[in-house]
Amino acid sequence: MILISFGFNNLNGWGLALARPTAPFNVLGLSPAPILMLIGIVLGQGFLLWTRRRETANRTPLLPLAVLDSPQERAAVFAMLSVVALEAALNFSVPLYIQIVQGRSPLATAVAMLPFNLTVFFAAMLIVRFYGRVTPRQIGRLGFGLCAVALIWLAFVVRNDWSSIPVLFGLVLFGIG
């Protein structure tokens, strides 16, 4: 997946077919972007083949393909993937902004990210208590709704001052989502 997305993200800079001067390397004059995408697809197919062989041999696979049998299970896997991607994006982009644009130290950045990280930690621990009373679908809808509200909130309150109360509240709200 990483090779596919990395190749796709660099198509403009490296070239669709022929390598541009901005490409880090070329393979016989060809752009590395589609080559990386092709390698990623081949590795993904190899992973699926390896998984099927392990299941056929009654050995434990890394990812049981039965997880993807029904549309509901596939939707749950994709929802979890998107939540993890949102969290990773925030944990990557916000510290970069704080350190590069604001020029703060790594320690100040860690303190600024503390509300978000603690909220994610406690929300992951405490959500188990709701399993008996709330369906997974309702939990998912509430979580995505909170994420959307929190991101909109952060978009309006971020003004190059990460110590302000509205920004910290937005990070906490996003973490709960």
Q: Which residues 6+ apart lie within 8 Å of 157 measured at CB?
A: 164, 166, 167, 170
Q: Is the per-residue pLDDT at 46 higher than 90?
A: yes
pLDDT tens-digit map of 156-177: 666 666 666 666 676 666 665 5
d(CA 63, CA 65): 6
At position 102, the amino acid (one-letter code) is: Q
At residue 143 the predicted structure's pLDDT band, cuts being 50, 70 and 90, is confident
- Residues forming a β-bridge with 27: 30
Q: What mean pLDDT, rounded, does the chain reach?
A: 79
Q: What pLDDT does residue 174 have?
A: 63
Q: What pLDDT does residue 157 have?
A: 60
Q: Where are the domains of the chain?
A: 2-56, 70-176
Most confident range (mean pLDDT) of 48-57, 84-93, 114-123, 148-157 is: 48-57
Q: Is the per-residue pLDDT at 152 higher than 60?
A: yes
Q: What pLDDT does residue 61 have?
A: 86
Q: Are 63 and 1 in contact (CB under 8 A)?
A: no
d(CA 93, CA 167): 15
| DSSP symbol at 27 | B
d(CA 77, CA 34): 27
- Please give the residue that has the higher pLDDT: either 138 or 43: 43
d(CA 50, CA 66): 14
Q: What pLDDT does residue 57 have?
A: 92
